[in-house]
Amino acid sequence: MSAVAPPRPSRTRGRVVASVVVVVVVVAFWSVDINWARLGNLPSEIVRYLWLMFSAPDWSKLGEALYQTWRSVEMAWVGTVFGIIVATPLSFLAAKGFGPPPVQAALRGVFAVIRAVPEIIIAIIILSVTGLTPLTGALALAVGGIGTLGKWGFESIDGVPRGPIEAVRAAGGSTSQVLRWGVWPSASPEFLSFWLYRFEINVRASAVLGLIGVGGIGDMLTSYTQYRQWGVVGMLLIVVVIVTIALDAISGAIRRRITEGAPVHDLER
Amino acid sequence: MTAPASVPAPAATAKAAASASATPPPRPAGRWKPWLAFGVIALITAVTLSPQLGIAFSLDAIARNWQNGAAKIVQLLQPDWSFFPRTIPPMLETLEMAVIATAVSTLIALPLSLWAARLINPHRVGRGIVRVILNIVRAVPELLYAAILVAMVGVGALPGILALVLFNVGIIVKLVSEAIESNDAGPLEAARAAGGTQAQINRAVALPDVWPSFVNQVLYVLELNVRSGTVLGLVGAGGIGLLIDAVRTYFRYDQLSVIILEVLVVVILLELVSSAIRKRLV
């Protein structure tokens, strides 16, 4: 007795899943149209280009780069603000118990559709009205923001404890009073941190939108890549990295302050 | 242990007792702070919208172009279905690129995320270097990488895949190494105390622990890749984006809407499948 090991758990399902994954990957590799021969000298090519870009970054264009960065950040900021202004009321309507159910379902569908379309495609649609201006970029980011902010918003309102809401209702509060005193106090930290997070996303996305020509740092980067002025490209990449990391750090610090509260001072000192 | 602030001052207590509970409690201090924050935000917004410093928000231009835009949107609402067969091969290429990039970056990211996790790799310096490099890599969006890589290795699916891999490795390593660190340190210490080598510890303890979160992140990255793979072609990096670029230069918005609908269907289907897989995992 006791020497018999317990039977191994069945592994058939795991094996089936693993082989399906392998087959899909192999088919993808086999059918994709790539000149594999080029892959051989790729590492040396990449080292060569990295050297071209970063051995002597061309700082003479720094002024223009900073101006274009400012335009990108502006796009991100305006896009975030417009997105918040539109998405917040919509997320209240889409939350359980506030809007009529058909409106709720429709809004949730709209949010899902917007989230599935990349911002750059939204920008291509919008530019037929506003042309190739930074405003197009800002509006595209605002529309994209409605998708994400709306979804995060109604999910967070759905998660608000019901007690305070019922208390305000029982005390005779109107819907707007329920929102202000029953929902907002518990939902506001999450909302603020979503807004900051969306701003971080928009900073990255605004750089990308430059590729279709709405201006900003992405626009400058594609132009100099096409001129093959690698020193300038290297400088621009350095600027993008520093600005993005700095803005992330600021917004991350504010977010932590909002969600974790003020630093606690030791009272027993 | 109560904070001093919450203890009412003696005078206030006496007053409250005298007026027999009719006075509301004093308003908390610092109510001006939200208004200050609001003021700062409004100021920045005003600057960014101003014509000199900002992006020149003008309803004028919108009003002028409204006719043109309305015509485009009408076109957008009448998809040209005869275009559909031509969209299938590039869409397949987008999916292939996404699968390949996910597979390659998974293979690269797994050892790196073990290396970047504090519980597994005690060397602070090595860990720090990996994290700093990945933070830098993640700060640049994949489309910008693709634009540069196209200039380096030429047009096609290869620069697209490389750009996706670069960005994916950054995301997977960050999320998975954080997941490893949030795991209980007990089993790892037990394995170490039992004399396991690092390879044995990884195999027997660390990997089974992070497996669900790892698969989760890989699915998430696959979704991301399909989504951004649809636009990589705008810079010449392969996939359906090439077609988007073509129809947009000829302003064929009726064909653009076919592509958008197709992207929508693919992305939403993928989301449904991967959320079903996630439910099985948890």
Nearest to B68 among A128, A226, A267 (CB): A128
What integer pLDDT is reported at residue B119 of this predicted model? 65
Neighbours of B155 (CB within 10 A): 15
Q: What is the dihedral of CA A245, A250, A251, A254, to 10 degrees?
A: 150
Q: How far is CA A30 from the centre of its chain?
A: 33
In a domain, A149, yes or no: yes
- Nearest in space to A67 (alpha carbons), one of A217, A190, A204, A264: A217
With respect to residue A1, please indicate whether it lies within any of the assigned structural domains: no
Q: Which of A74, A73, A114, A80 minimizes the C-alpha distance to A94?
A: A114
CA B151 to chain A, closest CA, distance in angstroms equals 7
Q: Which of A77, A121, A211 lies at the smallest CB-CB distance from B143?
A: A211
Distance from CA of A101 to the nearest CA of B (A): 22
- Selecting from A29, A45, A124 the residue whose C-beta is nearest the C-beta of B153 gives A45
Assess whether pLDDT exceeds 60 at residue B108.
yes
Which residue of B45, B144, B178, B215 is the best one to mutate when testing the A interface, meaning the one whose CB has the most A CBs within 10 A? B144
Q: Does domain B83-281 have CATH number 1.10.3720.10?
A: yes
Structural domain range at position A136: 60-259
Lowest mean pLDDT among A105-114, B115-124, B259-268: B115-124
Kindly report the CATH number assigned to the domain that includes residue A115: 1.10.3720.10
Split at pLDDT 50, 70, 90, the class of B7 is very low
**pLDDT by 10s per residue, chain A, length 269:** 557 777 777 777 778 888 888 898 888 888 887 777 777 778 888 888 889 888 888 889 899 999 999 989 999 999 999 999 999 999 999 988 788 889 999 999 999 989 888 889 999 888 888 878 888 899 999 999 999 999 999 999 988 888 998 999 999 988 888 888 889 888 888 899 899 999 999 999 998 898 888 888 989 998 998 888 899 999 999 999 999 999 989 998 888 888 777 776 666 54
What is the residue extent of each domain of chain B? 83-281
Q: Which two tokens mark B175?
A: 């999320």
Cβ contacts of A28 on chain B, cutoff 8 Å? 95-96, 99-100, 103
User: Across the interface, which of B61, B147, B154 has its CB nearest the CB of A221?
Assistant: B147
Instruction: Count CA atoms closer than 13 A to A25's CA, side-chain side.
Output: 15
Q: Is residue A172 part of a domain?
A: yes
Residues of chain B numbered 102-121 and touching chain A (CB < 8 Å) = 103
Nearest to B111 by CA among B166, B165, B195, B172: B172
Which chain A residues contact residue B153 at CB under 8 A?
38, 42, 45
Contact A207 B253 (CB under 8 A): no
> What span, in angstroms and rounded, lies between the C-alpha atoms of B238 and B229?
8
Residue of B nearest to A109 (CA): B268
Q: What is the ipTM of this complex?
A: 0.81
For B153-178, what is each residue's pLDDT tens digit?
888 889 999 999 998 998 888 888 88
Structure tokens at B84: 């559909």
Contacts of A46 in chain B (CB under 8 A): 152
CA distance A159 to A152: 11
Tokens of B179: 């997941």
Q: Flag whether A156 is in a domain.
A: yes
pLDDT of residue B3: 45
Residue B98: pLDDT over 90 = yes
Question: Residue A38 domain-assigned?
Answer: no
- The answer to whether B120 and B114 have CB atoms below 8 angstroms apart is yes
Chain A CB contacts of B105 under 8 Å are none
**Per-residue pLDDT, B1:** 40
Number of domains into which chain A is organized:
1
**Which H or E run contains A8?**
none
The size of the A-B interface in CB pairs under 8 A is 163
**Domain presence at residue A268:** no
Closest in A33, A137, A248 to B93, CB measured: A33
Among B77, B102, B143, the strongest candidate for a mutation testing the A interface, having the largest count of A CBs within 10 A, is B143
A13-58 tens-digit pLDDT: 778 888 888 898 888 888 887 777 777 778 888 888 889 888 888 8
Q: For residues A77 and A199, is the Cβ–Cβ distance under 8 A?
A: yes
B194: three-class secondary structure by DSSP = coil
